[in-house]
Amino acid sequence: MSNLTFPKPWKIAESESTPESIYINRRDFIKGTSLATLATTASFYGCGIGPTPDPNAPIEWSAIEEKIYPVKRNSKYTLDRDLTDENVAASFNNFFEFSEIKSDPKFHAQNLSIRPWTVEITGLVNKPQTLDVDDLYNLMPIEERLYRLRCVEAWAMAVPWTGFPLKALLDVVEPQSKATHIA
């Protein structure tokens, strides 16, 4: 009984191993995959990040924006703390339209083109509208408010916000009494 041997599960018969014609050509295989890797890597040369725009470059305002800015601050919205430094606030945000890197949007935000974007308001309203940004500037009471933003990621900042009250837009389009939500 001492001569009983149990084959290891990984041990295979000689006839089941890789044929010599395949493994003898491994050098050709390695050479081919190395060349393919080199060619693929070389094709990405020059595809890096381009020049970084200057976030402090002067802003080009439209005629309407020249009239509106700087916006008057609404004194009803005050804070119990100082505003977060602009460089800190601009360096930590999730505007993935500009970049997946949280510190990048401040370098790209000034290149965002907001024209010819429009907002279409339809449904249960008495006065359906299609408005572009200039219409909104002309129709709405643009104001600045101070807000404290808190995130589930355990960060917070106090920042100015410029825009208009939703109520002002609803007054323009006159929602019907059957309307229950805004989408």
- The C-alpha atoms of residue 144 and residue 132 are separated, in whole angstroms, by 20
Closest by CA position to 89, among listed 156, 40, 134, 4: 156
Q: Supply φ then ψ for residue 62, to 5 degrees.
A: -80, 170
- The C-alpha atoms of residue 52 and residue 108 are separated, in whole angstroms, by 8
Q: With cut-offs at 50, 70 and 90, classify the pLDDT of residue 105.
A: confident
- The C-alpha atoms of residue 50 and residue 58 are separated, in whole angstroms, by 20
Between these two residues, 181 and 47, which has the higher pLDDT value? 181
Q: Mind spelling out the 3-state secondary structure of 118-168?
A: EEEECCCECCCEEEEHHHHHHHCCCEEEEEEEECCCCCEEEEEEEECCHHH
Q: With cut-offs at 50, 70 and 90, classify the pLDDT of residue 20.
A: confident
Please state the domain extents for the chain: 63-173
Q: Give the pLDDT of residue 180.
A: 92
Q: What is the pTM of this model?
A: 0.61
Average pLDDT score, the chain:
84
Q: Give the pLDDT of residue 159.
A: 92
Classify residue 109 by its DSSP letter.
G
Question: Beta strands 156-163 and 143-150: pairing type?
Answer: antiparallel
- The C-alpha atoms of residue 123 and residue 129 are separated, in whole angstroms, by 10
**What percentage of the chain carries pLDDT values higher than 70?**
93
In the CATH hierarchy, which fold is given to the domain comprising 63-173? Sulfite Oxidase; Chain A, domain 2 (3.90.420)
- The C-alpha atoms of residue 103 and residue 15 are separated, in whole angstroms, by 60
pLDDT tens digits, one per residue of 138-174: 999 999 999 998 887 778 899 999 999 999 999 999 9
- The C-alpha atoms of residue 15 and residue 21 are separated, in whole angstroms, by 14
pLDDT tens digits, one per residue of 43-57: 777 666 666 667 677
